[in-house]
Amino acid sequence: MHMRFARIILLLGLAGVLGISSADERLDLLKHISAAGAPNLTLKMLDQAQPKIDEDLYEWILWEQERLAILAQWQQWDQLLVRIEGLPDDIPTQFKRQAATYQARAFLQLGQTRTAREVLRQQLWQSGAIESGEYETWRRLVVESYLGDGRIEDARVALLRFDQDFDSDDLDWVLLRARVLIEAERYEQAVLILQDHKTWQAELTSLYARFKLDRIDKAELWQQVKKRSAGDNLAVGESATLWALAYHAAQQMAPVDRVVALESLFRSSQPSPLQLFQMPVDLLWQAYLEYAELVGNRSELLLGDDAKWLELADKVSKVTPVKARSLFAMLMLRSEDSQVANQAASGYMQTFAEIDEAERILLGNLFNRSETFSVARKIPAGIRYQLVDLALKSADIEEATRLMSGLNTIPEGTSGFDWQLRQSRVLILGGRYEEGNQVLQNLIGEYREPNVEATDRILQVLFDMQTVDMHAQAITHFSQLLRLEIEPKQRREILYWIADSYRGLGKHDQAALLYLQSAMLPAPDAMDPWAQTARYHAAESLQSTGLVDDARRIYLDLLAVTEDAARRSVLNHKIQQLWLNQGSQ
């Protein structure tokens, strides 16, 4: 029901907000909504509010600039490129150059460095490019493109040329210069250019350079990371940067230290904003294997003797969970027996005292953002079921759908009803409507002994169907439920929801009939709050179908029992509208 409510609020909100606010206020509102974590809603609102390009070019550009900024902020690079490629040729040069900057950044983020350089060169060689406000940014992006290709010397030369042409000392440029120097193994120069900058990004980059110069040893670096990461008020991305530093120290330490550092890194809510400290999550899978092999050798275990490896992993699970996770990970990756892999997956999950937010982030990184498990079917079924639930809790429907694909057997310890309900909901929310509809049809077909809680859970999935305009299918399932011995209160509600779907299909006469049936289910003259709401919607549907006199009578009946002043005002307005519309015919 909450999703239906959200849909109504969205429609009302769009009408109210976009109809009343000025353009500047609406743009500010969009920025706040995007910053609050709702970029898709923001883009929908933008589609509603943005003027057509031939109506007001200046206003259109303001809105389009915000659209590109939102897509870039949320790393929707493919959508960003499609949008830019579809821009008209005759837009103003200044905006065209801004769009080219976004385009180059998108190609860089997607790893298409050569294409990014082509875009940048095209802009840099144009007449008047040097006067453009984007010119300096393009030169910096060229440096980044060389780094992306591993062409360190080319990046260093481009950096030197930039320094000859510009007197820039802002933090982003200093950090980029330091990165080039560090990758060119010119650590002393990196330390020198960072020494006057007191931000955490500069401090940690300098700390890494000093570590490479052997001015700080691995043990001291490790202790500094542990102490600083335990503090409060860490900046966004600082924790990930610290643990990436710890991983560099751990490369000179024991395999267990590498696992600890990488697990901590991939528990961080945000990745490091610094390219030097961004690492692929597959490093952790590799670290698990290295540690497991060390433990296995010490315990004189033979590769292929899965039972012994499982036994050892179970034995150490409570005492040294990091060791157990490494052993379980090795079995997940290396065992040729799917049953053993599933046991290992379950054992891996049990090493966590609880799956809190940090552990959800870790699991999401390991299984949803790694090359090791880029194909969902490779993930052992024993863990995929739990990952689906975690994705749903995080409202990551796309990931839940990916994980659910191909999972047709009921997980151990789960009822068939629970599994089918979950499967249907994920498929519907993930856009695989017919598959989800078929699963739900099978579930309701086997639903023989209804109870209030189970029926309500089925209704939640039907509300999801209505939200995505699967009204015809929803009506079929609602009708199936009505044939069962369900509670009178739920029967009354279902009649109302069926009416909603008929209204969604534009069949207002059938909707009106069902709204009235819902209102009158307890008694023909019922006027409780539910009945009043149902009668009101019945009157609206009658009005839509042309039965004006019937609609007026219902509005008048409601007016006779309504004491709330605001509701009376609405009803009087509705009645007045009917008179005016009828009089104009």
Q: List the domain boundaries for the chain.
A: 280-414, 415-481, 487-585
Could you write out the DSSP letters of every residue in 149-199? HT-HHHHHHHHHHHHHH-----HHHHHHHHHHHHHTT-HHHHHHHHTT--S
Give the CATH architecture of domain 487-585. Alpha Horseshoe (1.25)
DSSP 8-state secondary structure symbol assigned to residue 318: T
Tens-place pLDDT, residues 463-474 = 888 888 899 999
User: What does the pLDDT read at residue 11?
Assistant: 36
Measured N-to-C along each axis, helices 306-316 and 321-334 cross at an angle, to the nearest 10 degrees, of 160
- Compute CA distances 252 → 206, 227, 235, 247, whole Å: 19, 20, 28, 9
Could you tell me the two tokens for 143? Answer: 């440096």
Q: Report d(CA 555, CA 546) in Å as an integer.
A: 15
**Per-residue pLDDT tens for 263-277?**
999 999 899 999 999
pLDDT in tens, the chain (585 residues): 333 333 333 333 433 433 434 566 777 777 777 776 667 767 877 888 888 888 889 889 999 999 999 999 888 999 999 999 999 988 999 999 999 999 999 999 999 999 999 999 999 999 989 998 999 999 999 999 999 999 999 999 999 999 899 988 889 999 999 999 999 999 999 999 999 999 999 999 999 999 999 999 999 999 999 999 998 889 999 999 999 999 999 999 999 999 999 999 999 989 999 999 999 999 999 999 999 999 999 999 998 899 999 999 999 998 999 999 999 999 999 999 989 998 999 999 999 988 888 898 999 899 988 999 988 888 887 788 778 877 777 667 777 778 877 676 666 666 778 878 888 888 887 788 888 888 888 888 888 888 889 889 889 889 888 888 899 999 999 999 888 888 889 899 999 999 999 999 999 988 988 998 898 888 888 888 898 889 889 888 888 888 878 888 888 888 888 877 877 887 777 777 777 665 555
- Look up tokens 């005759």; give the residue: 90
Q: Are 333 and 304 in contact (CB under 8 A)?
A: no
Tokens of 77: 């690079």
At residue 67, the pLDDT reads 93
For 320-378, the DSSP string reads -HHHHHHHHHHHHHH-S-HHHHHHHHHHHHHTSS---HHHHHHHHHHHHS-STT-SGGG
**The residue type at 362:** L
Which pLDDT score, from 0 to 100, does residue 414 have?
A: 67
Task: For the chain, state the CA radius of gyration.
Answer: 31
Q: Enter the tokens of residue 16.
A: 């109210």
* Tokens matching residue 346: 């379950």
